[in-house]
Structure 1
Amino acid sequence: MIGRFVKERISWILMMVLIQGLILLVSWLDHSIPFMPVLYAVFLSMILFVIFLCFRYRKETKFYQELDEWTSDLDTELLPSPSSPFERIALEALLRQTNALRDEAYENTAMLEYEKDDLLAWIHEVKTPLTAMKLIIDRTEDEEMKAQLMYEWLRIHLLLDTQLHQKRMPFMHNDLLIEKVSLKPLIVQEIKMLQSWCLQKGIGFELELEADTVLTDGKWTAFIIRQLLTNAVKYSEHDDILLKSYKDDYHTYVQITDHGRGIDSKDLSRIFDKGFTSTTAHDDRSSSGMGLYLTKQAAIALHIKISVESTVGEGTTFTLLFPKRNEFESVISV
């Protein structure tokens, strides 16, 4: 702040120095004027000027220091009080802009909330005919037609489910219920949901669930596993997907391993980024780049760490590391 103040007042400082220099020059050239008394007077005036600068520094920079420390949360009550006419002009202009931005932010937030609620209501409305379609498909006798219809029904169901969880994600912490969850029924339920798709692609599942209980939220953990299984099935063909769970001295792990096309090493650090699809299969229009992003966000809220290992042409392994109880103190429910 001192450097800024000096830069702001540099013209005044230079003017003072030039005036004192001019006085000394005139005294030196005009022998009728005693030089030493003038030099002494200039010395005293410069000391007074430095003291004056220090006083003005404290007075003039207080407002701007507080303004510099003001947080950008549009809270005008925390703005500093002006002590000069120019500071008052600056503050009034800042208040006008801040109030306008705050009103605009409120309007945008209200509009987004309305759109979110409208979309959630629409998703729930669509689920009713989807349920009816499922019952109709179950009664279809033509097995080939039934398999095709189930596959298309599943695609719509998964898209709606992803959209629903995406809209709920910002308020996820309000929906958490942390409890002991049994892994086997949760995983089996997600496998059954993908059964028609897996039959169509000739994909099976192998379960090695040594650890059966984890401390987590069942609904959101099911969403995480659903996204990882969907990803594994999507990029696999005529092979088994391995699901393992095991414990060490501290944590519980769940691994999902497929033998699909794999992920390029240069993409591994970006697969959880919002909107990222792939650099090797960039023309794949079926990928939205949202599935793994939402998976990562849900895992962060549940304190689950996700790691991935992959080799192109050999497959991919996602590992979920579930937290211990003492790591859950901020959101624990039981």
Structure 2
Amino acid sequence: MLNNLYRKLHILFASSVMLIITLVISFVVANTVHTEKINESTLFQRLTTLLIYQVESASSDMDKSLTAYEKSYHIFSLINDTKGNTIYQSDFPFPTPADNLLHDVEKQISTQPLSRTESDTTSQGGFLEIRGKHHDTYFVIPATIRTANDTVYHATFLYQTASLTDILQKTLPIYLLIWFLACIVVIVLTRYLLKKSFAPTERILQSQKDFVATASHELKSPLAVMISNTDMLLDNVPLNEQARQAVQTIDFECMRLSRLVKDMLLLASSDAKTWTLHKSTINVDTLLITLYETYEPVCMKQNLELKLHLSEESYPAMLTDKDRLFQILCVFMDNAIQHSKNNSLIEIEVIANEKNIAFSVVDHGQGISDEDKQYIFDRFYSGDKSHTNKSNFGLGLSIAKELTQMLNGTITINDTAGGGATFTVKFPLK
């Protein structure tokens, strides 16, 4: 149970911290993308200003003046005179054809307050952003340029911005590396801290387990002596009725305590991981008949009907520990007998297919409440809150669950139609 709690807390803490780190990195990446856009916008505006100065001062050699900037920064330039004739146009491809982009620019410029009219000085027509046909984005600055010799030009400058994919390809690897390094550090650190915090509790639990194992071993011998002596008194010594009842009570309680010690030794060996498995190929039909023959006299004594449902076809051979499987089914049978009403039915069923085989013990007794179902396999848990049933210690089902896990199976409980409980253990067939 402590290991399960440790794993859950480890996952919870590591996931929480990594979620926070992920959110922080996501915010940083988003801020980086935004900053990159601002930097591109600033750079484009400054370069456009330089290009306008070049056109103002070098109208006679415009090609040479503009080509150097365009090759270095990939800025598209279109220069027209006042009559609409093209004086200069850049020649490098965009994902969207330049004519389509210029058409969109003209449509946006026509809606702006500043129109392309001649003015006494050079002026810019604002800062625009347009989208192409292939998810490409462009910054646009229209301008009216008056040169030193009073020649007026209408200019349009375009700059393709870096796409989100381009920005992420450039910045994301370093952030992913930081994320993975942080993940490793968080996992190691939380594991170390949880181990430190769980160490005192683990020591206490281990000391309790050691005590239970030692006490159970020490109790075996005196219990065996007490049982043998009470049997001798009952068989060979003449006793009055009151003394005989007292000895019988002692014998009953000794047997009850002996079963408790046996169960505690089983759980102690489970905690110490000393349970051994002796797997062999078993005949399921033979196992079921043995189980039926073992419990038929007990059921008859308790006024219960026991029914074994066998398939007409033989069940597939099963590789498992026969004694451990039989022990699980015995726990189911004991539980069913304890909680069945007089003259009710207990059924043993098996369902097998190519992949799995499931053993079920069905009783038609008082059933188990939904509240008790989630705790029914816990150690020392009993649905009988008044503890009137002295033969039930609340260990049988917990032992069955641990044995099932050892055999790589699953154990479940369901309600029986009409009342009662159905315990099922399922194993894979290999």
Distance 1:130 1:221, change over 3 A: farther
Distance 1:100 1:315, change over 3 A: closer
CA distance in 2, matches of 1:177, 1:121: 25
Give the number of the structure with larger relative contact order, counting CA–CA contacts within 8 Å between residues 6 or more apart. Answer: 1
CA contact (8 A) 2:305 2:344 kept: yes
Name 1:119's counterpart in structure 2. Answer: 212
* More moved, 37-46 vs 155-164: 37-46
CA distance in 2, matches of 1:227, 1:164: 16
| Count of residue pairs the alignment pairs up | 295
Give the drift of 1:61.
2.5
Name 1:168's counterpart in structure 2. Answer: 269
Distance 1:69 1:145, change over 3 A: same
Distance 1:273 1:178, change over 3 A: same
CA contact (8 A) 2:309 2:349 kept: yes
The yes-or-no answer on 1:17 pairing with 2:37 is: yes
In structure 1, give the amino acid aligned to 2:334: T
State which of 75, 80, 94 in structure 2 corresponds to 1:40: 75
Larger radius of gyration: 2
Name 2:328's counterpart in structure 1. Answer: 224
Q: Give the match's secondary structure for 2:332.
A: helix
Structure 1, gaps ≥5 residues long: 75-93, 328-334
Distance 1:28 1:48, change over 3 A: same
State which of 367, 376, 387 in structure 2 corresponds to 1:262: 367
How high is the sequence identity, in percent, across the aligned residues? 17
The yes-or-no answer on 1:129 pairing with 2:222 is: yes
TM-score, normalising length: structure 1: 0.58
* More moved, 136-145 vs 305-314: 305-314
CA contact (8 A) 1:299 1:305 kept: yes
Query: How do 1:151-300 and structure 2 match up within 5 A?
Result: 151-169=252-270, 175-179=276-280, 180=282, 183=287, 202=302, 216-236=320-340, 238-239=342-343, 256=361, 258-263=363-368, 266=370, 270=374, 273-274=377-378, 283-285=385-387, 291-300=396-405
Structure 2, gaps ≥5 residues long: 1-20, 56-65, 77-138, 140-157, 235-240
Give the drift of 1:157.
2.8
Name 1:78's counterpart in structure 2. Answer: none
Q: Give the match's secondary structure for 1:139.
A: helix
CA contact (8 A) 2:346 2:364 kept: no
CA contact (8 A) 1:242 1:257 kept: yes
CA distance in 1, matches of 2:50, 2:419: 96
Distance 1:48 1:202, change over 3 A: closer
The answer to which structure has the higher helix fraction is 1
Q: Give the match's secondary structure for 2:367.
A: coil
TM-score, normalising length: structure 2: 0.48
Distance 1:7 1:239, change over 3 A: same
Q: Give the match's secondary structure for 2:75.
A: helix
The answer to which structure has the higher strand fraction is 2
